[in-house]
Amino acid sequence: MDINNARKLVKEYGRTWEIASETGNLGFYPNSILPATKDEIKEAIKIVILSLSLSKDWNGVDVCVDGYVSLPTFIDKAVYDEIRYPILLSDKEDAKQAAISLMKETHLKNIDEIKLFQREIGQYVENCKKMQ
């Protein structure tokens, strides 16, 4: 991916994130609303960070890091629907409780994935700084 496509994808992801976070929902969102796969977005963010670091312009790196670390909040749409609809629409207590249990499990997985993404991008940014 070249820098122009990377910048475009990062902007699209930023707009998606803004819209998703305004809805609040459950603390996570369906990955079907992403403009590309998580791996493609991660690659684009890294390219933009590298470009910024090479030009010695560290403005915007924090936003890129935040976007990278936020990617785990986008989950498989089927899981999202399995949680969301019973909680919001079901009048059956069993269905709501099962959805709440799945939501808790999903949040725990997200925490682990967020920590992993934090380590990944933190190391990447440090490596970019060493190239200076």
Structure tokens at 123: 């190391």
Domain ranges of the chain: 3-130
Q: Rounded mean pLDDT of 83-104?
A: 76
How much is the pLDDT for 89? 64
Q: Which of 42-51, 98-107, 112-121 has the lowest mean pLDDT?
A: 98-107
Residue 80: its pLDDT value, please? Answer: 85
Specify the pLDDT at position 125: 92
pLDDT digits (tens, 9 = 90+) for 8-65: 999 999 999 888 877 766 678 899 999 999 999 999 999 999 999 888 877 888 899 9
Q: In the Cβ-directed half-sphere of 11, how many Cα atoms lie within 13 Å? A: 6
pLDDT in the model for residue 88: 65
Alpha helices, DSSP H only, in 24-76?
38-54, 61-70
State the burial class of residue 77 (Cβ atoms within 10 Å of its Cβ: 0-12, 13-18, 19+). middle
Structure token pair of residue 93? 């207590």
